[in-house]
């Protein structure tokens, strides 16, 4: 600690206040950025004051939701949690959240940190935060123009694992063969979770599956069951590599919308219920429950805590607009988009769909990934599908090639949304699928109209 | 008559939306009531001479590209070469394109031999060339797509480029060329789905395939309104991003 920490904290706090006062964003990144310029070791200084340490969550999909769920568990058991809730997950975003929880003298007010981290920022974040637990969710193909090939991300994560304190626990999704292989050296302090229910298995490995080869020997992997993307119960045809035994197993997914899962951990068996829906959220809920058990929280608290978790920014968020109940779904990559479509089909509500595709830096400038999404599955829903956003035309063409004639092809994000809403029959529900910046733009407009709270206030 | 599309290394080299190309070929045949079949040709699987009317070959990560290079050493590579000489149309993207040249020289490790169908070679570069691309081709007009590669491909004296880069990097970011053409084969760095947004390229490949069966008539036109709209949209994005790149230049230097 010291003068420098204090100075950086004060500077950050002034910027946070200014950003919100003058409405230049939510102050979720700039304060941390400036503070880290003033004091590069700020995160380490603040994190090491937390009496119960920090939990770090990483993965291509589900970071924000899982981090929220873990924070909810800890809050239920009476701890004050420092959390980058807005989903701003680069070091500057994490620093912003920590600064906001600190006094002007650079003292952090909280018991435990819950931090979601960007894939590429993981080694730096682990170095700075020295977490007591690292939760690894999944590794999918995402924004190739930014993240590069999957092997590059896997290498980055190997470096992050090597930087963990020697007593840190590793909670890992064992249904992901890549994560299983990455965390093998940590098997004695590793908690594995995964699904074990043939009822939610897919008939085959989807087109967008990213890993078909054994990460250990390179031979083909065979799947007894596939649950999502390349997540499932796998075994290598060439060596002994296979899905390891699960510490915490989601044995029976009784309901997907909303979620109800029977969870078995050793001799204990509990039913988890959540307002969240979809198989991908089953993994997020399982990850949070496993983290809770590994931290020694009691079962009743975990069940209650998870039941209270609400959707994060644009993740199955429900809004009421002009008498229409609309559900907002963020889609960022093929695996996530496929799961969103699966949720629409499973929900069995025949609501019209609006798909908003942007190609700004934060979305990935390359929209090629839309062609890896199994858009054809929307045919089963038989509802009008419209498009909007900067790449409305690309999405409309993708739909056309999937045999779905777009109901309308709108321009812009907010303009598309308004015109689409106006076209809905009275009282009709609707789904809005949007990429990151499209969701941000839409939510900002809805917040200005008083339909939604600002995302940093959630 | 039935067209058979051979999708080379469909499982291992389909890195980012490559499926869109096969979908475009298939759909555009189907709409013209041309019976089409797509056959995947994987590592270790035989390539039967005379069986295929059109080839597609996508991009892949390093490991998959090395596996494909060694798979094509010997008889399989010879068959592919003979088929291209016979006039079978082919579209090869990124990793596939590189292996149709004479060799690929990585940063470290041994040189990967190519098939030498294109008089071209590729050298690993330090900087990735990423972004929207607009290419002007005398044969096909304006072609738009996205590139993401660190390999720099150089064309030999007998090679003919697919076109000239208007926006983006193309083969190597230096000489303004993009892609390569030989007989009815096209190699390009425009990865992902290049055919849906450039239907003239898709129809060229289909027309070549039909000619192998003695069908000389022009293809029936399709309603391509949406495809050209997506094309125009992509070109507008390429222009906008070039502008923002230029605007950001002074900041980058600081």
- pLDDT tens digits along A9-53: 888 888 888 877 776 666 678 888 888 888 889 999 999 999 999
- Phi/psi of residue A384, nearest 5 degrees: -65, 135
Beta bridge partners of A363: none
Q: Tell me the nearest-neighbour CA distance from B89 into chain A, angstroms.
A: 22
Contact B171, B153 (CB under 8 A): yes
Sheet containing A268-274, strands listed edge to edge, beginning at the edge strand earlier in sequence: A81-83, A112-116, A54-58, A133-136, A169-173, A190-195, A248-255, A259-265, A268-274
β pairing state of A324-330 and B103-105 = unpaired
Q: Could B193 and A371 be called an inter-chain contact, meaning their C-beta atoms sit closer than 8 Å?
A: yes
Q: Which of A152, A334, A355, A368 to mutate to test the interface with B (most CBs of B within 10 A)?
A: A368
- Active site positions of B, annotated: 94, 191
pTM > 0.90:
no
Q: Is pLDDT larger for residue A308 or for residue A212?
A: A308
Q: Which of B148, B230, B231 to mutate to test the interface with A (most CBs of A within 10 A)?
A: B230
Query: Quick one: angle between helices A122-129 and A91-100, nearest 10?
Result: 30
Cα–Cα dist A169/A150, whole Å: 24
pLDDT of residue A453: 65
Q: Tell me the nearest-neighbour CA distance from A298 into chain B, angstroms.
A: 44
CATH 1.10.287.130 given to domain B2-253: no
Q: How many contacts, defined by CB atoms under 8 Å, are there between A and B?
A: 90
Residue in this structure with the two tokens 């979720």, named with its chain if needed: A28
Residue in this structure with the two tokens 């592919």, named with its chain if needed: B80
Cα–Cα dist A432/A388, whole Å: 10
Summarize the confidence of residues A426-448 as an average pLDDT. 94
Contact B41, B10 (CB under 8 A): yes
Give the pLDDT band (50/70/90) at residue A261: very high
Which residues of chain A are within 8 Å of residue B191 when distances are taken between CB atoms? 368
Q: Where are the beta strands (DSSP E) in A213-257?
A: 221-228, 231-236, 248-255
Expressed in angstroms, the distance from the first to the final Cα of chain A is: 30
- Hey, what domains does chain A have and what are their CATH numbers? 3-307 (3.40.1190.10), 315-457 (3.90.190.20)
Angle at B135 between CA B134 and CA B140, to 5 degrees: 125
Contact A291, A65 (CB under 8 A): no
Contact B57, B91 (CB under 8 A): yes
Q: Tell me the nearest-neighbour CA distance from B86 into chain A, angstroms.
A: 31
- Phi/psi of residue A15, nearest 5 degrees: -65, -40
pLDDT of residue B141: 97
**Which tokens sit at B136?**
């002007």
β pairing state of B180-182 and B185-188 = antiparallel
Among A87-91, A405-409, A411-415, the range scoring the smallest mean pLDDT is A87-91
Summarize the confidence of residues B236-249 as an average pLDDT. 73
pLDDT of residue B52: 97
Which residues of chain A are within 8 Å of residue B233 when distances are taken between CB atoms? 390-394
Q: Which of A367, A374, A395, A411 to mutate to test the interface with B (most CBs of B within 10 A)?
A: A367
Beta bridge partners of A170: A134, A190
- pLDDT tens digits along A71-109: 999 999 999 999 998 888 899 999 999 999 998 888 999
Q: How far is CA B242 from CA B178, B192, B229, B246, in A?
A: 18, 20, 20, 6
B79 part of contact set with chain A, CB < 8 Å: no
Give the pLDDT band (50/70/90) at residue B246: low
Among candidate residues B155, B81, B85, B75, the one with its CA nearest the CA of residue B115: B81
- pLDDT tens digits along B52-107: 999 999 988 777 888 899 999 989 999 999 999 999 999 999 999 999 999 999 88
Contact A120, A139 (CB under 8 A): no
Beta carbons within 8 Å of A268's beta carbon, 6+ residues apart? A299
Which residues of chain B are within 8 Å of residue A368 when distances are taken between CB atoms? 16-17, 20, 146, 191-193
The pLDDT of residue B249 is above 50:
no
Q: Show which of residues 385-444 on chain A sit within 8 Å of chain B, judged by CB atoms.
A: 390-394, 396-398, 400-401, 409
Q: Could A366 and B146 be called an inter-chain contact, meaning their C-beta atoms sit closer than 8 Å?
A: yes
Cα–Cα dist A452/A435, whole Å: 18
Q: Show which of residues 59-78 on chain B sit within 8 Å of chain A, judged by CB atoms.
A: 61-63
Q: Where are the domains of chain B?
A: 2-253
A284 part of contact set with chain B, CB < 8 Å: no
Beta carbons within 8 Å of A375's beta carbon, 6+ residues apart? A341, A398, A399, A402, A404
Give the pLDDT band (50/70/90) at residue A454: low
The pLDDT of residue B251 is above 50:
no
**ipTM confidence score:** 0.93
């Amino acid at each position: 600690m010291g003068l420098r920490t204090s100075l950086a904290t004060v500077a950050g706090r002034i910027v946070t206040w200014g950003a919100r006062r003058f409405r230049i964003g939510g102050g979720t990144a700039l304060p941390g950025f400036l503070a880290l310029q003033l004091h590069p070791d700020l995160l380490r200084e603040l994190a090491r004051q937390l009496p119960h340490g920090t939990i770090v969550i990483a993965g291509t999909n589900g970071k924000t939701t899982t981090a929220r769920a873990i924070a909810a568990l800890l809050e239920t058991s009476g701890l004050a949690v420092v959390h980058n809730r807005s989903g701003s997950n680069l070091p500057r975003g994490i620093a912003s959240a920590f600064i906001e929880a600190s006094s002007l003298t650079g003292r952090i007010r909280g018991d435990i940190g819950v931090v979601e981290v960007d894939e590429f920022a993981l080694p730096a974040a682990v170095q700075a935060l020295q977490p007591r637990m690292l939760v690894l969710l999944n590794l999918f193909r995402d924004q190739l123009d930014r993240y590069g090939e999957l092997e590059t991300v896997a290498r980055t994560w190997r470096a992050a694992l090597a930087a963990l304190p020697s007593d840190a626990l590793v909670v890992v999704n064992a249904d992901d063969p890549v994560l299983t292989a990455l965390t093998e050296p940590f098997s004695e302090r590793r908690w594995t979770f995964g699904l074990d229910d043939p009822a939610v298995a897919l008939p085959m490995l989807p087109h967008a599956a990213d890993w078909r080869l054994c990460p250990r020997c390179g031979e083909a992997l065979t799947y007894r069951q596939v649950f999502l993307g390349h997540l499932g119960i796998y075994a290598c045809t060439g060596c002994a590599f296979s899905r390891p035994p699960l510490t915490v197993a989601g044995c029976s997914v009784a309901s997907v919308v909303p979620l109800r899962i029977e969870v078995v951990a050793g001799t204990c068996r509990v039913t988890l219920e959540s307002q969240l829906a979809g198989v991908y959220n089953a993994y997020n809920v399982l990850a949070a429950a496993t983290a809770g058990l590994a931290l020694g929280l009691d079962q009743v608290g975990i069940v209650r805590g998870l039941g209270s978790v609400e959707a994060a920014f644009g993740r199955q968020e429900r809004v009421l607009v002009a008498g229409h109940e609309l559900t907002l779904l963020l889609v960022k990559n093929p695996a996530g988009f496929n799961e969103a479509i699966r949720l629409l089909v499973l929900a069995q509500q025949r609501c019209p769909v609006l798909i908003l595709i942007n190609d700004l830096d934060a979305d990935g400038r390359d929209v090629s990934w839309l062609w890896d999404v199994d858009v054809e599955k929307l045919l089963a829903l038989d509802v009008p599908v419209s498009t909007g956003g900067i790449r409305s035309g690309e999405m409309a063409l993708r739909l056309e090639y999937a045999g779905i004639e777009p109901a309308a092809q709108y321009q812009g994000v907010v303009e598309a949304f308004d015109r689409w809403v106006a076209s809905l029959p009275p009282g009709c529900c609707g789904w809005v699928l949007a990429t990151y910046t499209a969701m941000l733009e839409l939510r900002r407009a809805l917040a200005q109209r008083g339909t939604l709270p600002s995302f940093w206030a959630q | 008559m039935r067209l058979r599309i051979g999708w080379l290394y469909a499982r291992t080299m389909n890195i980012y939306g490559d499926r869109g190309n096969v979908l475009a070929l298939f759909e555009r045949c189907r709409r013209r009531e041309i019976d089409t079949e797509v056959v995947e040709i994987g590592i270790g699987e035989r390539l039967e001479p005379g069986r295929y009317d059109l080839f597609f070959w996508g991009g892949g990560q390093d490991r998959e590209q090395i596996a494909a290079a060694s798979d094509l050493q010997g008889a399989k590579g010879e068959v592919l070469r003979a088929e291209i000489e016979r006039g079978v149309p082919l579209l090869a993207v990124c990793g596939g394109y590189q292996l149709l040249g004479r060799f690929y020289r990585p940063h470290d490790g041994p040189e990967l031999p190519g098939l030498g169908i294109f008089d071209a070679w590729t050298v690993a570069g330090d900087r990735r060339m990423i972004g929207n691309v607009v290419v002007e081709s005398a044969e096909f007009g304006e072609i738009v797509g996205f590139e993401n590669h660190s390999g720099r491909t150089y064309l030999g004296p007998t090679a003919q480029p697919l076109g000239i880069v208007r926006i983006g990097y193309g083969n190597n970011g230096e000489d303004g060329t993009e892609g390569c053409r030989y007989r009815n084969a096209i190699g390009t760095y425009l990865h992902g789905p290049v055919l849906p947004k450039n239907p003239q390229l898709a129809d060229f490949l289909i027309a070549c395939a039909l000619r192998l069966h003695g069908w000389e008539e022009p293809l029936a036109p399709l309603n391509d309104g949406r495809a050209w709209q997506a094309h125009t949209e992509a070109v507008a994005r390429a222009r906008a991003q070039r502008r923002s790149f230029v605007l950001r230049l002074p900041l980058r230097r600081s």
